[in-house]
Amino acid sequence: MSDELFEKGLALLRDNNPLAALTCFEKAYNLKKTPGIKSYLALCIAIERGKITEALALCNDALAHEPDNPVHYLNLGRIYMKADKKADALETLRKGLSFGENAEIHQFLESLGMRKRPVVPFLSRNNPLNKYLGIFLHRLKLR
């Protein structure tokens, strides 16, 4: 029963209906407290109720039980973005990618506009050497 509710909640979340998904995840969580349900419940709580602290606690608990699941990092990154903590979100998403490829994480990172490291890291990003070397290497498809 909880698995069916979880799947229904995922479908609703994909259809951009987080309020209905929240209801499904809450019912599933009352039946069975799995890390996956906790993670998505946390995301919906952050989106719909704006309770960031509660959402972070739930998602971090899910990560403690399944630290190698990239989906938990994706949800945690989304929660950080909801809290306007872009640096924490980027760090979390990159860490999630270290546990395996995840197309959703890549999509989310692209939507955030993730920038590559400067070519010469000890110079500032807007130093002309970094700027033009970056453009040059990009055109050569070396970067």
Q: What is the pLDDT of residues 3-27, one digit of tens each?
A: 899 999 999 999 999 999 999 999 9
The pLDDT value given to residue 113? 76
The pLDDT value given to residue 114? 62
Contact 46, 78 (CB under 8 A): yes
The whole model's pTM is what? 0.78
Q: How confident is the model at residue 57 (pLDDT cuts 50, 70, 90)?
A: very high
DSSP-assigned letters across all residues of 9-77: HHHHHHTT-HHHHHHHHHHHHHH---HHHHHHHHHHIIIII--HHHHHHHHHHHHHH-TT-HHHHHHHH
Q: Please, what are the domains in the chain?
A: 2-112 (1.25.40.10), 117-143 (no CATH)
Give dist(CA 61, CA 56) in Å, integer.
Answer: 8
Taking alpha carbons only, the member of 100, 139, 101 closest to residue 119 is 139
Average pLDDT, the chain: 91
